[in-house]
Amino acid sequence: MTRQLHLNAFLMNTGHHEASWRLPESDPYAHTDLAHYVNLARIAERGTFDSLFLADGPQLWNTVAQRPAGALEPLTLLTALATATEHIGLIATASTSYNSPYNLARRFASLDIVSGGRAGWNIVTTAGEEAARNFGLAAEPAHAERYARAAEFTEVALKLWDSWEDDTIVADKAAGVWGDDAKIHPPRHEGTYFSVAGALNVPRSPQGYPLLVQAGSSEDGRAFAARYAEAVFTAQQTLADAQGFYADLKARTGRAGRDPEHLKVLPGIVPVLGSTEAEARANERVLDEHIVPEHGRTRLENLLHLPPGTLDLDRQLPGDLPPESAIEGAKSRYTLVVELARRERLTVRQLIGRLGGGRGHLTFAGTPEQVADAIGTWFTRGAADGFNIMPAVLPSGLEAFVEHVVPILRARGLLRAGYGPRRTLRERYGLPRPANQHVTRHPAPALSRT
Ligand X SMILES: Cc1cc2nc3c(=O)[nH]c(=O)nc-3n(C[C@H](O)[C@H](O)[C@H](O)COP(=O)(O)O)c2cc1C
What string marks each residue from 236 to 275 as x (binds a second copy by CB under 8 A) or -?
----------------------------------------
Q: Does 127 bind ligand X (CB under 6 A)?
A: yes
In the complex with a second copy, the residue whose CB is nearer, 105 or 390, is: 105
| Residue range at the interface with ligand X (CB under 6 A); choices 25-33, 34-42, 233-241, 365-373 | 233-241
Angle between helices 74-82 and 101-114 (to 10 degrees): 20
Task: Decide if residue 249 touches ligand X (CB under 6 A).
Answer: no
Q: Output the CA–CA distances (angstroms, integers) from residue 436 to 83, 205, 441, 449, in the order listed.
A: 28, 11, 10, 26
Distance in angstroms (rounded) separating the CA atoms of residues 68 and 59 = 14
User: Which one of 11, 19, 157, 383 is in contact with a second copy (CB under 8 A)?
Assistant: 19
Q: Which of 237, 309, 225 is nearest to 267 (CA)?
A: 237
**Residue ranges in 280-299 that form contacts with a second copy under rule CB under 8 A:** 290, 292
Q: Please report whether residue 65 would count as binding a second copy according to CB under 8 A.
A: yes
Using rule CB under 8 A, residue 171 touches a second copy? yes
Q: Could you say which of 4, 76, 302, 335 contacts a second copy (CB under 8 A)?
A: 76
Q: Select the binding partner of residue 203 from ligand X, a second copy, none (C-beta < 5 to 8 A, by kind).
A: a second copy
Task: Select the span of 22-30, 215-223, 334-342, 376-384 touching a second copy (CB under 8 A).
Answer: 22-30
229 sits near ligand X (criterion: CB under 6 A): no
Q: Which residue is nearest to ligand X (CB)?
A: 216
Residue 388 CB, shortest distance to a second copy, in Å, is 22
**Alpha-carbon dihedral 272, 278, 283, 289, rounded to 10 degrees:** 120
Rule CB under 8 A: choose which of 8, 48, 51, 66 binds a second copy: 66
Longest dimension (CA), the chain: 82
Phi/psi at 157 (nearest 5 deg)? Answer: -60, -40
Residue 33 has, within 13 A of its CA and on its CB side, a CA count of 16
Could you tell me which residues come within 8 angstroms of residue 153 by beta carbon, excluding any fewer than 6 positions away? 96, 99, 101, 193, 194
Q: What x/- string results for residues 53 through 72 when contact with ligand X is judged by CB under 6 A? A: --xxx---------------
Helix axes 368-380, 239-255, angle to 10 degrees: 40
At residue 290, the 3 state secondary structure works out as coil
Contact in structure between 180 and 256 (CB atoms under 8 Å):
no
Angle in degrees, CA 134, 75, 418, rounded to 5: 150
Closest CA to 398 of 270, 226, 221: 270
Residues from 69 through 98 that contact ligand X (CB under 6 A): 93
DSSP category for residue 411: H
In 19-41, which positions are buried (b, 16+ CB within 10 angstroms) versus exposed (e)? bbbbbeebeeebbeeeebbbbbb
In the region spanning residues 381 to 420, those forming contacts with ligand X, defined by CB under 6 A, are 388
Q: State the Cα–Cα distance between residues 412 and 123, nearest whole angstrom.
A: 33
Instruction: Specify the residue, 30 or 265, whose C-beta has the smaller distance to a second copy.
Output: 30
The correct pick among 216, 260, 368, 397 for binding ligand X (CB under 6 A) is 216
Site for a second copy in 132-151 (CB under 8 A): 133-136
Picked from a second copy, ligand X, none, the partner binding residue 234 (CB below 5 to 8 A depending on kind) is ligand X
Told to check if 130 binds ligand X by CB under 6 A, we report no
Name the 3-class secondary structure at 181.
helix
Q: Are 48 and 84 in contact (CB under 8 A)?
A: no
Site for ligand X contains 17 (CB under 6 A): no
Footprint (CB under 8 A) of a second copy, residues 181-210: 181, 184, 194-203
Q: Is 217 in the site for ligand X (CB under 6 A)?
A: yes
> Least separation, in Å, of the C-beta of 6 and a second copy?
26
Which residues 86-125 are close enough to bind a second copy by CB under 8 A? 98-100, 102-103, 106-107, 109-111, 113-114
Which of ligand X, a second copy, none binds 331 (CB below 5-8 Å, type-dependent)? ligand X
The amino acid occupying position 286 is V
The listed partner (ligand X, a second copy, none) that binds 126, CB under 5 to 8 Å by sort, is ligand X
Nearest distance, CB of residue 400 and a second copy, angstroms: 21
Q: Which residues in this chain contact ligand X in the complex, by CB under 6 A?
A: 55-57, 93, 124, 126-127, 215-218, 220-221, 233-235, 268, 330-333, 388
